[in-house]
């Protein structure tokens, strides 16, 4: 059986989707999950973007890139110039298997309107960038940005130059999600037939989902001979997103015979929990009817289907829920479960925690078990995700008292600020969430715009844990009253997540965690508050 290389770019292309930015600790958590999933390559970020991006990739390279006997390749993206290439190498050099991924646009639209470069200049720059990357490390990937709108003959010339300069992987991105499966098939066959030295390198496809064809195009590329797929968990990514890892992996797994015996090294039983983790940490919900990992992906509602399923599951089921690690029964623990049981269960769920974190998580688990009879796997994952969100921030909520009636509500909120000083404020509002958010705004000294507010019950039952996610931006900051807030927070979105049996408490945690993300990109503000 031949394996298709799974190159995951959740932490690079995925993180570029609006509002999906993650803290370094969250990125590391996702990288660990990707390693357990057994992806072959983790594209951990774009180190030239900022010193924070560089150190986040470095942390992943050092830990996950040296994990066990066969750690994943850790890859960093670089534009085709010296500074980017150096930053990328700095970031991945400590991994056992580092890769530099460099790219340059090749289509006429990009050459003329973005780069202002001739064909010859593009070829020259690609050759120089790949050769420079090759001096730094052996494993070099080259992507021809907007390859699918590039003249086929010119694309082959660029790729030939990249192979000569030392590229070991050639990537064909459909950057704007434009092509159809038939066109992808032709493009891959053209490249295979016309690029000198192609038999010695890996050919890769990278698709975006603007017309809803990313998975189909990726699979067409594989059928035509590509042996690396560039994907993200849940298909997160800019605009309509990237190809979803779980869809390609399960298509190859389920239809391996059709694909001539191709498969991947992925441990499919990790798919469900990795999807949940990415959804929680990126603040991007998974639609219920999403292929493979959606809540309804294995639900058979129609009577005629249920009848067939009862007679023989294969009448309507092409994959088993357990193949993707979706537990049939989620019931796991109760108030009498001990610390060790919690630690083991969290590790099984893909959230290993050290002894320091265990103390606090156990206290939270006990508090939850007092309020909720059955604590499920989903509850535990939500509990851990909420804890991560809070500890990575600068403000922490320590208390909340709500008074609520038909005429409105008031909320007394207690926070600890970045300098560990206790802060307290009482505000009123139209309802408890409104009052609570107003009080938090006053303590932090901001007035962001609330773009989205969602509540979701983690499990069934009146005692269910409520998950809240919020999305905010700084669009409403008045430069006169908040001069310290720059353009970066006005234009960007930030998400936050909280979980509690009380949805007002969960809402307050989610709001504080979104504000903390906003403060992280606006250090001036943090300093101003702290001084
Ligand atoms: O979509 C794209 O073209 C990319 C490249 C940088 C590979 O993400
Ligand atoms: Zn992309």
| H helix intervals, 320-398 | 339-348, 355-371, 377-391
Give CA–CA dist 460/441, Å, rounded. 33
Please say if the pLDDT value at position 531 is more than 50. no
Task: Kindly give the distance from the C-alpha atom of residue 173 to the centroid of ligand 1, in angstroms, as a whole number.
Answer: 6
206 lines ligand 1 (CB under 6 A): yes
Please say if the pLDDT value at position 436 is more than 90. yes
Residue in the structure block whose two tokens are 């390279």? 61
Residue 235 lies in a domain: yes
Question: What are 261-284's pLDDT values in tens digits?
Answer: 999 999 999 999 999 889 988 888
Q: Cα angle vertex 59, ends 53, 65, to 5°?
A: 120
Residue 493 lies in a domain: yes
pLDDT of residue 526: 39
Are 414 and 272 in a shared domain?
A: no
pLDDT of residue 489: 62
Are 26 and 134 in a shared domain?
A: yes
pLDDT of residue 525: 42
107 lines ligand 1 (CB under 6 A): no
Q: What percent of the chain has pLDDT over 90?
A: 62
Residue 102 lies in a domain: yes
Mean pLDDT of 443-447: 86
Are 348 and 309 in a shared domain?
A: no
Are 371 and 356 in a shared domain?
A: yes
Are 396 and 382 in a shared domain?
A: no
Q: Cα angle vertex 162, ends 157, 165, to 5°?
A: 125
Question: What are 453-479's pLDDT values in tens digits?
Answer: 999 887 767 777 888 999 998 766 666
Single residue among 216, 250, 282 that ends a domain in this structure: 282
Q: What percent of the chain has pLDDT over 70?
A: 90
Are 260 and 125 in a shared domain?
A: yes
pLDDT of residue 6: 98
Among 47, 30, 36, smallest CA distance to 99 is for 47
| Number of structural domains in the chain | 4
Are 398 and 378 in a shared domain?
A: no
Which residue of 7, 13, 43, 101 sits with most ligand 1 atoms within 8 Å of its CB, as the best mutation to test the pocket? 13
103 lines ligand 1 (CB under 6 A): yes
Show the domain range for 188: 5-282
177 lines ligand 1 (CB under 6 A): no
Residue 331 lies in a domain: no
Question: What are 114-137's pLDDT values in tens digits?
Answer: 999 999 999 999 999 999 999 999
Are 503 and 398 in a shared domain?
A: yes
Are 241 and 308 in a shared domain?
A: no
Please say if the pLDDT value at position 28 is more than 90. yes
More confident residue, 15 or 8: 8
173 lines ligand 1 (CB under 6 A): yes
Question: What are 234-265's pLDDT values in tens digits?
Answer: 999 999 999 999 999 999 999 999 999 999 99
Task: Kindly give the distance from the C-alpha atom of residue 207 to the centroid of ligand 2, in angstroms, as a whole number.
Answer: 7
Among 157, 85, 175, 176, smallest CA distance to 118 is for 157
143 lines ligand 1 (CB under 6 A): yes
Give CA–CA dist 415/395, Å, rounded. 7
Residue 293 lies in a domain: no
Are 220 and 253 in a shared domain?
A: yes
Are 193 and 134 in a shared domain?
A: yes
Task: Kindly give the distance from the C-alpha atom of residue 231 to the centroid of ligand 1, in angstroms, as a whole number.
Answer: 11
Nearest CA to ligand 1 atom 2: 175
Give CA–CA dist 450/471, Å, rounded. 6
Question: What are 194-233's pLDDT values in tens digits?
Answer: 999 999 999 999 999 999 999 999 999 999 999 999 999 9
pLDDT of residue 476: 65
Residues with CB under 5 A from ligand 2 (ion): 13
371 band by pLDDT with thresholds 50, 70 and 90: confident
Single residue among 290, 325, 360 that ends a domain in this structure: 325
Task: Kindly give the distance from the C-alpha atom of residue 423 to the centroid of ligand 1, in angstroms, as a whole number.
Answer: 45
90 lines ligand 1 (CB under 6 A): no
């Amino acid at each position: 059986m031949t394996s298709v290389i799974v190159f995951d770019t959740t932490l690079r292309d995925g993180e570029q989707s609006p509002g999906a930015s993650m803290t370094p600790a969250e990125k590391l958590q996702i990288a660990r999950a990707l390693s357990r999933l057994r992806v072959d390559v983790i594209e951990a970020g774009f180190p030239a973007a900022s010193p924070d991006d560089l150190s986040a990739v470095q942390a992943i390279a050092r830990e996950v890139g040296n994990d066990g006997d066969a750690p994943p390749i850790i890859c960093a993206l670089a534009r085709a110039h010296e500074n980017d290439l150096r930053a990328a190498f700095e970031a991945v050099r400590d991994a056992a298997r580092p890769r530099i991924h460099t790219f340059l646009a090749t289509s006429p639209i990009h050459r003329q309107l973005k780069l202002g470069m001739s064909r010859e200049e593009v070829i020259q720059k690609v050759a120089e960038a790949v050769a420079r990357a090759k001096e730094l490390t052996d494993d070099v990937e080259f992507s021809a940005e907007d390859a699918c709108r590039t003249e086929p003959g010119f694309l082959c010339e660029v790729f030939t130059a990249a192979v000569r300069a030392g590229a070991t992987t050639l990537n064909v991105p459909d950057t704007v999600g434009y092509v159809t499966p038939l066109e992808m098939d032709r493009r891959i066959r053209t490249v295979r037939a016309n690029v000198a030295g192609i038999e010695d390198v890996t050919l890769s496809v990278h698709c975006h989902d603007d017309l809803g064809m990313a998975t189909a195009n990726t699979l067409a590329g594989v059928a035509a001979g590509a042996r690396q797929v560039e994907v993200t968990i849940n298909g997160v990514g800019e605009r309509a997103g990237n190809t979803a890892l779980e869809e390609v992996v399960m298509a190859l797994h389920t239809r391996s015979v059709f694909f001539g015996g191709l498969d991947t090294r992925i441990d499919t039983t990790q798919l469900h929990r990795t999807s949940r983790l990415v959804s929680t940490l990126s603040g991007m919900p998974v639609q219920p009817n999403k292929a493979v990992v959606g809540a309804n992906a294995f639900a058979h509602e129609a009577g005629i289907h249920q009848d067939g399923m009862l007679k023989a599951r294969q009448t309507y089921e092409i994959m088993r829920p357990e193949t993707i690690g979706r537990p049939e029964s989620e019931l796991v623990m109760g108030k009498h479960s001990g610390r060790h049981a919690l630690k083991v269960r969290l590790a099984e769920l893909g959230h290993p925690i050290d002894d320091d974190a265990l103390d606090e998580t156990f206290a939270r688990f006990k508090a939850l078990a007092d309020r909720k009879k059955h604590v499920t796997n989903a509850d535990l994952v939500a509990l851990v995700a909420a804890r991560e969100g809070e500890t990575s921030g600068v403000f922490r909520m320590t208390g909340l008292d709500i008074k609520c009636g038909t005429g409105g509500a008031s909320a007394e909120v207690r926070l600890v600020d970045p300098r560990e000083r206790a802060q307290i404020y009482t505000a009123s509002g139209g309802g408890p969430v409104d009052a609570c958010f107003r009080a938090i705004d006053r303590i932090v000294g901001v007035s962001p715009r609330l773009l989205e507010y969602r509540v979701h019950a983690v499990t069934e039952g009146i005692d269910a844990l409520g998950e809240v996610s919020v999305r905010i931006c700084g669009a409403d900051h008045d430069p006169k009253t908040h001069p310290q807030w720059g353009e970066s927070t006005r234009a960007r979105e930030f998400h936050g997540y909280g979980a509690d049996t009380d949805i007002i408490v969960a809402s307050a945690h989610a709001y504080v965690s979104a504000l903390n993300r906003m403060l992280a990109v606006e250090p001036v503000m943090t300093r101003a508050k702290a001084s």
